[in-house]
């Protein structure tokens, strides 16, 4: 877009840009080095004294012109601080230059910090430099940017206009960091496994297909991390994990983005009961990392995240809520429809039907079920784990059963993976595996209603 098509406000700024260039001012200059952040500068000033001059850089947010003086807010990564410009200090022409700056411009300023009569911490501008001229007007200063379509499509504007959005993403990083730190401290090795795969396994989902030109072969984007991580246990690593993006070719919703972040861990010589304790520890660590206590509120509903979490067999829960005895897929269907939405407080649901769990170990006492659990909070799934199936003969039969469903038209049934079977035939140690949907955990801990609020650039349809 350019020229005649542009809104007047943008045309005006282009003209202003040309005037600056004509006056010998570089509107995209460099070389300015801030000495402090706004927060650091704020901390320098005491009750009434003036500080030595400091240099700050950031985005000009609001201007208030009062004749021979001018006030403005400067926003940087750390926050905001008020600026004051005075004609007496800057001189006529420099003051006018400052007065002509637009909200949105990136500038560097140098001067002492003091408090105004009303106590506002303020930098008195001794000199300033235009660093980057902004050509587009910012959202309104009072109401901010509310249009969710613009917020998601133009996240950069959202981050400028809604500083609390930055806090969500800072929390996201802290939460992931806390999980990494917990696992590292327990001797887990963080690894990276292929995103492009020949066989998209480890989950039940429709994959994205892509094509490698040089190999002239279709490849799939991974839907899970599981099968490669278990190969690494075969190889001798005893505790591994990966935090990575997985891709599922499914519909979108406030809880589903086509690409999302999964944490998977595998621990040799552990079973699913030990994984439950690991999950509890992860919840505690990540809650603290998010700066919250164990009693949290999500969208107005209170949740107590204090371990130990309730543990219930799926079949018992279904009897409790429906009065019905069931097994297999029917049991799972009843659970999902009548029980899961009612599980509000953290609950480990255990012992899933074998038909829907092709990678999990059978229960020794009842081969219709596997040693598996999911962590349900507020009716949503946050973790999925099992004692892994290590018997290669059984594993092949499970894959064959899935292949039969696939042949019957279920595009999401687990595909046969001969290389994985070969690995298991070499010997997979007894182990417990875990998958955690990181985005949903972050939604919970930052009280965000949509997965799009915790993913910086969520998938959107083409802008028209």
Partner RNA sequence: GCCGGCGUAGCUCAGCUUGGUUAGAGCAGCGGUCUUUUAAACCGAGGGUCGCAGGUUCGAAUCCUGUCGCCGGCACCA
Beta carbon nearer to RNA, 106 or 182: 106
Q: Which of 25, 44, 150, 416 binds RNA (CB under 7 A)?
A: 150
Size of the site for RNA (CB under 7 A): 76
Q: Where are the alpha helices (DSSP H) in 290-417?
A: 314-322, 328-334, 392-407
Sign of CA dihedral 322, 327, 331, 333: negative
CB of 389 to RNA, least distance (A): 11
Among positions 101-120, residues that touch RNA (CB under 7 A) are 102-103, 116-120
Which two tokens mark 164?
Answer: 């609390």
Q: How far apart are CA 62 and CA 264, in angstroms?
A: 46
Note whether 63 and 71 are within 8 A (CB).
yes
Backbone φ/ψ region at 308: left (φ over 0), alpha (ψ -120 to 50), beta: beta
Residue 282 CB-half CA count within 13 A? 26
Span interacting with RNA, options 144-152, 190-198, 267-275, 307-315, rule CB under 7 A = 144-152
Among positions 381-420, residues that touch RNA (CB under 7 A) are 384, 412, 414
Q: Strand, helix or coil at 462?
A: coil
Is residue 359 a contact residue for RNA (CB under 7 A)? yes
Cα Rg of the chain, angstroms: 28
Is residue 143 a contact residue for RNA (CB under 7 A)? yes
Span interacting with RNA, options 146-154, 211-219, 228-236, 305-313, rule CB under 7 A = 146-154
Span interacting with RNA, options 95-103, 167-175, 277-285, 303-311, rule CB under 7 A = 95-103
The angle, 0 to 180 degrees and rounded to 10, between the axes of the packed helices 272-289 and 438-446 is: 40
Is residue 140 a contact residue for RNA (CB under 7 A)? yes
Q: Which of 27, 44, 71, 406 binds RNA (CB under 7 A)?
A: 71
Tell which residue, 200, 197, 189, has the closest CA to residue 232.
189
Burial class (CB in 10 A: 0-12, 13-18, 19+), 345: middle
CB of 449 to RNA, least distance (A): 6
CB of 448 to RNA, least distance (A): 10
Letters for 14-33 (x = contact with RNA by CB under 7 A, - = none) are: --x-----------------
CB of 410 to RNA, least distance (A): 7
Among positions 226-255, residues that touch RNA (CB under 7 A) are 248, 250-255
Q: How far apart are CA 242 and CA 228, in angstroms?
A: 10
Tell which residue, 415, 419, 397, 454, has the closest CA to residue 223.
415
Beta carbon nearer to RNA, 31 or 251: 251
Beta carbon nearer to RNA, 305 or 359: 359
DSSP character at residue 388: B
Beta carbon nearer to RNA, 120 or 418: 120
Is residue 148 a contact residue for RNA (CB under 7 A)? yes
Determine the length of the chain.
Answer: 464
Q: Which of 21, 30, 146, 245 binds RNA (CB under 7 A)?
A: 146
H or E element in which residue 240 lies: strand 239-247
Q: Which of 170, 180, 256, 344 binds RNA (CB under 7 A)?
A: 256
Q: How far apart are CA 242 and CA 125, in angstroms?
A: 49
Beta carbon nearer to RNA, 364 or 463: 463
CB of 452 to RNA, least distance (A): 6
Among positions 199-218, residues that touch RNA (CB under 7 A) are 203-206
């Amino acid at each position: 877009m350019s020229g005649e098509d542009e809104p007047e406000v943008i045309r005006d700024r282009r003209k202003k840009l040309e005037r600056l260039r004509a006056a010998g001012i570089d509107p995209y200059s460099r070389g300015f080095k801030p000495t402090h952040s706004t927060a650091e500068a704020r901390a320098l000033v005491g009750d009434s004294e003036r500080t030595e001059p400091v240099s700050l850089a950031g985005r000009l947010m609001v201007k208030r012109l009062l004749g021979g003086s001018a006030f403005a807010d400067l926003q940087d990564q750390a926050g905001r601080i008020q600026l004051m410009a005075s004609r007496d200090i800057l001189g006529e022409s420099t003051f006018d230059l400052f007065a002509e700056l637009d909200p949105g411009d990136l500038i560097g300023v140098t001067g002492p910090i003091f408090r105004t009569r009303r106590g506002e911490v303020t930098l008195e501008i001794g000199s300033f430099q235009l660093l980057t001229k902004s050509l587009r007007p910012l959202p309104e200063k009072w109401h901010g940017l509310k249009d969710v379509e613009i917020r998601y499509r133009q996240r950069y504007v959202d981050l400028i206009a809604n500083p609390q959005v930055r806090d969500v993403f800072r929390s996201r990083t802290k939460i992931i960091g806390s999980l990494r730190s917990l696992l590292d401290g327990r001797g887990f090795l963080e690894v990276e496994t292929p995103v492009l795969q020949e066989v998209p396994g480890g989950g039940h989902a429709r994959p994205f297909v892509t094509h490698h030109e040089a190999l002239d072969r279709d490849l799939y984007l991974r839907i899970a991390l599981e099968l490669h991580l278990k190969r690494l246990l075969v190889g001798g690593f005893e505790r591994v994990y990966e935090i990575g993006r997985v891709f599922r070719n499914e519909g979108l919703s406030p809880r589903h983005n086509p690409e999302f972040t999964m944490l998977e861990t595998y621990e040799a010589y552990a079973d699913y009961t030990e994984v439950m304790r690991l999950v509890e520890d992860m919840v505690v660590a990540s809650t603290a990392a998010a700066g919250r206590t164990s009693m949290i509120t999500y969208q107005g509903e209170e949740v107590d995240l204090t371990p130990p979490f309730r543990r219930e067999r799926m079949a018992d829960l279904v009897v409790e809520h429906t009065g019905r005895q069931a097994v297999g897929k029917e049991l799972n269907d009843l659970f999902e429809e009548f029980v899961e939405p009612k599980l509000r407080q953290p609950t480990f649901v255990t012992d899933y039907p074998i038909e829907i769990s092709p990678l999990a170990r059978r229960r020794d006492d009842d081969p219709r079920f596997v040693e598996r659990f999911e962590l349900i909070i507020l009716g949503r799934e946050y973790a999925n784990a099992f004692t892994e199936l290590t018997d290669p003969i059984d594993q092949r039969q499970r894959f064959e059963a899935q292949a039969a469903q696939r042949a019957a038209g279920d595009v999401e049934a687990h595909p046969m993976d001969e290389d994985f079977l070969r690995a298991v035939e070499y010997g997979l140690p007894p182990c417990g595996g875990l998958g955690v949907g990181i985005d949903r955990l972050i939604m919970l801990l930052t009280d965000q209603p949509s997965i799009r609020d915790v993913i910086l650039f969520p998938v959107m349809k083409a802008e028209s």
